[in-house]
Amino acid sequence: MLRLFLDSADIDEIRDVYSLITLDGVTTNPSILAGSRNKYGSPLLALKVISKFVSDHGGTLHVQPVGTAYEAILEDAYYLLDELGKDVWIKIPVTEAGLAAISRLSGEGVNVTAASVFSFSQGMLAYKAGAKCVSVYCNRAEENGIDYPGVITSLKNAFPDQMLLAASFKDTIQAEIASISGADSLTLKSNVLFSDLNTPLMKNTVDSFKTSWLDAFGKDRIKT
């Protein structure tokens, strides 16, 4: 079955979504953490609360170091592992420095999600460096003329048993295409995840049922 993650660093939003549907965890990045509501005073304290919540619900939390140089990535990664525990997944963009960090951390048994993947070769290198998960960024790819369904399909064909997390969606159609293309896991922001519930088509459809009933019985309850 498809694994579903929430792309968020807002603990209230995370709790709300978990109260509605089953999730497999939470993904974040520095932009999400910097921009999210945080009543805990610091990103680290927020991450600690989120980490405990996600772990208590049997899921995984994927957190990205802020530094982009090899040493900086490792410094942040070890800090996150110390503060959040060994179960946190370290999310690392597949740059040259990132690949070296992925190789080093994976060799030490750390769970790594190779992120910001826009090509087959980036994903292949990340899997071969030991990453347990590769994350293809769909909308960012599409905006740059990259065939993200092709990237997903070719990676899934070559690494069928590895986790492939599709991310970065502007709408649910992109998520659907990613799933059809072979992604076994998706991460969506809350506003995209629930966007199909409030479309004009949904409102018109639901209203039309009620209108039929109202015309016939004069009230909007079955109970008499």
Q: Which of 14, 61, 88, 167 binds ligand G3P (CB under 6 A)?
A: 167
Buried b (16+ CB within 10 A) or exposed e, 179-211: eebbbbbbbbbeebbeeeeeeeeeeeeeeeeee
The count of chain residues that interact with ligand G3P, using the rule CB under 6 A, is: 9
Active-site positions? 91
Q: Which CB, 132 or 140, lies closer to ligand G3P?
A: 140
Q: Is 21 exposed, middle or buried (0-12, 13-18, 19+ CB in 10 A)?
A: exposed
Residues in the chain: 224
Q: Which residues ranging from 102 to 161 are in contact with ligand G3P (CB under 6 A)? A: 137, 139-140
Q: Which of 27, 106, 154, 181 binds ligand G3P (CB under 6 A)?
A: 27
Least separation, in Å, of the C-beta of 204 and ligand G3P?
29
Neighbours of 104 (CB within 10 A): 17
Q: Which residues ranging from 185 to 214 are in contact with ligand G3P (CB under 6 A)? A: 187
AA identity, residue 48: K
Taking the C-alpha atoms of residue 62 and residue 89, their distance in angstroms, rounded to an integer, is 5
Q: Which CB, 32 or 100, lies closer to ligand G3P?
A: 32
Least separation, in Å, of the C-beta of 146 and ligand G3P?
13
The residues near 32 (Cβ < 8 Å, ≥ 6 apart) are 7, 8, 9
Q: Which CB, 74 or 136, lies closer to ligand G3P?
A: 136
Site for ligand G3P contains 10 (CB under 6 A):
no
**Any idea which residue has 């179960």 for tokens?**
87
Least separation, in Å, of the C-beta of 27 and ligand G3P?
4
Taking the C-alpha atoms of residue 132 and residue 114, their distance in angstroms, rounded to an integer, is 8
Q: Which CB, 26 or 216, lies closer to ligand G3P?
A: 26
Least separation, in Å, of the C-beta of 186 and ligand G3P?
10
Interacting residues toward ligand G3P by CB under 6 A: 7, 27, 29, 137, 139-140, 167-168, 187
